[in-house]
Amino acid sequence: MKIVQGLFIALLAGVLSVGSHLAASALQWAQELPSLESLDALTFSTTSQVFARDGTTRIGVLVPVVGEDRESTNRIPVTLEEVSPAALQAIVAYEDDQFFGHYGVDPLAVLRATYEEFFGDAMRGGSTITTQVIKNVLLQDIRSERSLERKVKEWMLALELERRLTKSEILQHYINVIFWGGNVYGIGAAAQTYFGKDPIELNLAEGLYLARLIPAPNSRHDDFETTRRSMREVLDKMVRQGTISREMADRAWRYPLQPLGWQVEYDGEGNVVSAVRTGADVLVQSSVSSDLSRAVVLAVRDWLTQRYGESVVWGRGGLRVTTTIDVQAQLAANQASLEAEVPEGAQLAIVGLDPATGAVLAMVGQKLEPGAPPEEFNRATQAMRQPGSSFKPIVFATAIEQGGFNQATILVDEPAAFHIPGQPPYEPENHDFRYDGYQTVRANLNTSRNIPAVKALEAAGPEAVAEKARQLGYDVMPYYAMALGSYEVTPLQHTAAMAAFANGGVYNEPYFIERVEDADGNVLYEASPRSARVWSEQTAYIMLDLLRGNVADREPAYGLSNRAVVPGRWVAGKTGTTNNEVDLWFVGLTPGLAASVWIGYDSSRGMPRSMTNSDGTTEI
């Protein structure tokens, strides 16, 4: 009997010792708990989204880069109302089917964890949706540990979180912080990454697939067939619990699930016949990504960084950027770039904008090729290239504006030397070393002979031409070679300058961002582009007519009239070619659109002689 009493006393002492130890540890851990206010940190690492002018078509994303290792975090915050009820049902059913009934912790998990702490086993599962929010937001530094300390801290914070927030608020935090593989966090980015759709569009099968990925998203996505088979168990459980009907479960099972990165075939009963990986890894979103126009997203990135700084764009992120891009115009520009036949290694840029506003409607920054990797360099906004003869309309417009020139003014195309005090004579030549003699202004713009253009600049005055050019956004100095476009300009700026002729002489500063909102919906920026009258309405009308003639007056054999004409609409335009065919240009105007195309090598070497503007830029 004494032996039994001794054992009982020893056991009681052990229990009291354990209790004392737990109590002391719990008090210490309670003092180390982070504040629940840290949940606000969710807004500091979210993906910025770039939309077309319709406000709904997503052009691309800017994924923030966080931490000392500069890892990108693809997160698109959403509210519960922005997620389909079917997807939410699936996530709760799989992750925590007692979520709406408990107070943040699983009592059985508490007992199991206490037992395992003192008998040497590693901490196992038992997480609730509430504790997972705590683990992923407030206890990130120890979330990978399997210790009683982490568990107790989770439980304490979970109980307090349940007291402060509603179940809906907790669930909303959860769907925005949970890791979904690669660099994907939250259901907003997960729905786009795995299914290319917004979370409100997810059906029950897609929502359940995402739910099944949560414990180990990378490996489970790689093993589609196993993940798919396990979905049947969850569907059956949801039927037993009355969450869905048997008919809904069967319909979800038969749905032909096709996550991005997989090509899957099914039989009539919803069973997988074959599953094959396709393409590159879809789980890691690069910091700049676009399905419609990388050039636009790059331009947006540079604009945002310059205006707000890297900490806003790449740190907190969460910006919503509405651009001026027209989806159909952008698709047409993309297709034109894909179909363009250019010499191997040559590049191109395309810009289209609205002459009446300066709003950019389409932008392509490279020669698009199927399967080719996207480039960092956006030639539409960054490439500084000589415009060649496509600048001549600015020269003639200045001369016409001053009153000394009109369409019928006669100029002589002949060898000439232009004298500049203190400098050797400037002696320009035509590209074919031939001269056409007497020409009207209209005829000269059609044939693009060089000597008459320099004579027009001399008559107007180099400083006067340079001043008009500066008003149009060019950065030029007054010299004779300016008449032949021997300075540098980007395709975007060149297009905007020429667009003034189609807008009654009013220049509109080009812009591609209409509106910027922060992660909280506050408006940071709304466009108010600068506009200014550069030409009189009369001069603009005359020049537009001259440029229409440059397309319509030419012999069909020349090529321009064949390739630049749009049936049923007038088209005006001017080609430009620099020495040795280094740069090929066409700037075109038509009702509601000003567009330019540039073709050339980044290295500024000459294009093949067989490549001309007639079968290059104008056709595009």
Question: pLDDT tens digit string along 492-517?
Answer: 999 999 999 999 999 999 999 999 99
Mean pLDDT in residue range 423-434: 89
CA distance 539 to 529: 23
Percent of the chain surpassing pLDDT 90: 58
User: 37 or 514: which carries more pLDDT confidence?
Assistant: 514
Asked if the model's pLDDT at residue 423 lies above 60, the reply is: yes
- For the chain, state the CA radius of gyration: 34
Q: How confident is the model at residue 42 (pLDDT cuts 50, 70, 90)?
A: very low
- Segment among 115-129, 156-170, 308-322, 352-366 with least mean pLDDT: 115-129
**Alpha-carbon gap, residue 129 to 95, rounded angstroms:** 7
Higher-pLDDT residue of 591 and 32 is 591
Is 515 in a helix, a strand, or coil?
A: strand
596, part of any domain: no
Report the pLDDT averaged over residues 357-375.
90
d(CA 394, CA 405): 13
Name the domain count of the chain.
1
Instruction: Judge whether 341 lies within some domain.
Output: no
Rounded Cα–Cα distance for residues 31 and 29 (Å): 5
Q: Is residue 231 in some structural domain? A: yes
Mean local confidence (pLDDT), 198-217: 95
Q: How many residues does the chain have?
A: 620
Name 17's Cβ contacts closer than 8 Å, sequence gap at least 6: none
Residue ranges making up the domain that contains 95: 77-277
Confirm whether 503 is domain-assigned: no
What's phi and psi for 262, nearest 5 deg? -130, 145
Distance (Å, rounded) from C-alpha 294 to C-alpha 131?
39
pLDDT of 376 reads 87
User: Phi and psi at residue 237, in whole multiples of 5°?
Assistant: -65, -40
358 within a domain of the structure (yes/no): no
pLDDT band at 614 (very low <50, low <70, confident <90, very high): low
CB 277 within 8 A of CB 261: yes
Tell me what the mean pLDDT of segment 411-435 comes to. Answer: 90
Question: What CATH number corresponds to the domain at position 116?
Answer: 1.10.3810.10
- Tell which wins on pLDDT, 359 or 147: 359
Which of the pair, 564 or 334, is modelled with greater confidence? 334
Please compute the mean of the pLDDT values over residues 205-233 and round it to a whole number.
93
- Taking residues 545-566, report their average pLDDT: 75
Residue 323 lies inside a defined structural domain of this protein: no
Query: Which of 99-113, 277-291, 504-518 is modeled with the greatest confidence?
Result: 504-518
**Distance from C-alpha of 345 to C-alpha of 608, rounded to nearest angstrom:** 12
CA 280 to chain centre: 19
Q: Angle, nearest 10°, between helix axes 2-31 and 148-164?
A: 60
Residue 181 inside a domain? The answer is: yes
Count how many Cα atoms sit within 13 Å of the Cα of residue 527 in the half-sphere of its side chain. 21
Q: Whole-number mean pLDDT of the chain?
A: 85
**CB-CB neighbours of 261 under 10 Å:** 17
* Between 429 and 20, the higher pLDDT residue: 429
pTM of the model: 0.79
Enter the tokens of residue 541.
């009308």
**pLDDT reported for residue 371:** 75
Report pLDDT for 3: 44
CB atoms within 10 A of CB 609: 8
Among 122-131, 216-225, 338-347, 409-418, the least confident range? 122-131
Q: Is residue 579 part of a domain?
A: no
Select, from the ranges 2-6, 70-74, 215-219, the one with the highest average predicted confidence (pLDDT).
215-219
> Residue 209 in contact with residue 172, Cβ under 8 Å?
no
CA–chain centroid gap for 484, Å, is 36
pLDDT at position 160: 81
